[in-house]
Amino acid sequence: MQWKELYDKAAEKLAPRAVSPFIEAGGVAAAILTAAGNVYTGVCIDTACTLGMCAERSAIANMITNGESRIVRLVCVMGDGRVGMPCGACREFMMQLDKDSPGLEILADAETGKTVRLRELMPHWWGAERFR
């Protein structure tokens, strides 16, 4: 799957909205491509009690619910259409998913097609030896 397709799948989920007086959702969206070739999407869920989740983790929860755990590509689309990088919590969560997670490719710039690997964002990760 090309980056443009993955970007478009995430962007179509952007729909900022109030879910309740305490919860807002849809201001950021993410799409992940799995090793099996499936695409899962998710949106950020922001809560007054801070128990919400980022769009990336929302997409990952969708993937896990469907029985998969290996991501090969990720794109995160911000509310203004730019791509964004996963936060520290999302980076850590992705590293813990699969032994091949360090090779996960993340779109860093939609215009140039520049990408980074998760290992570049998480050098010297503490848990690698558990996958051996």
The pLDDT of 66-92, averaged and rounded, is 97
Confidence of residue 94 (pLDDT cuts 50, 70, 90): very high
- Average pLDDT along the chain: 97
Q: How confident is the model at residue 91, as a pLDDT?
A: 98
pLDDT value at 22 more than 90 = yes
CA distance 122 to 91: 7
pLDDT value at 124 more than 90 = yes
Q: Is the dihedral of CA 18, 24, 27, 33 positive or negative?
A: negative
Can you list the pairs that 18-25 forms with residues at least 24 positions away whose Cβ atoms lie under 8 Å?
A: 19/45, 22/47, 22/48, 22/49, 23/47, 23/48, 23/52
Parse the chain into domains and list their residue ranges.
3-131
CA distance 86 to 44: 12
Query: What is the CB neighbour count within 10 angstroms for residue 9?
Result: 21
Taking each continuous run of H as one helix and of E as one strand, the counts in the chain are 4, 6
Q: How confident is the model at residue 33, as a pLDDT?
A: 98
Confidence of residue 8 (pLDDT cuts 50, 70, 90): very high
pLDDT value at 96 more than 90 = yes
Runs of H (alpha helix) within the chain: 3-11, 55-65, 88-97, 118-121
Task: Return the CATH class of domain 3-131.
Answer: alpha beta
Q: What percent of the chain has pLDDT above 70?
A: 100
**Is the model's pTM score more than 0.75?**
yes
Residue 81 is classified by DSSP as S
Q: How confident is the model at residue 132, as a pLDDT?
A: 83
Task: State pLDDT tens for residues 79-91.
Answer: 999 999 999 999 9
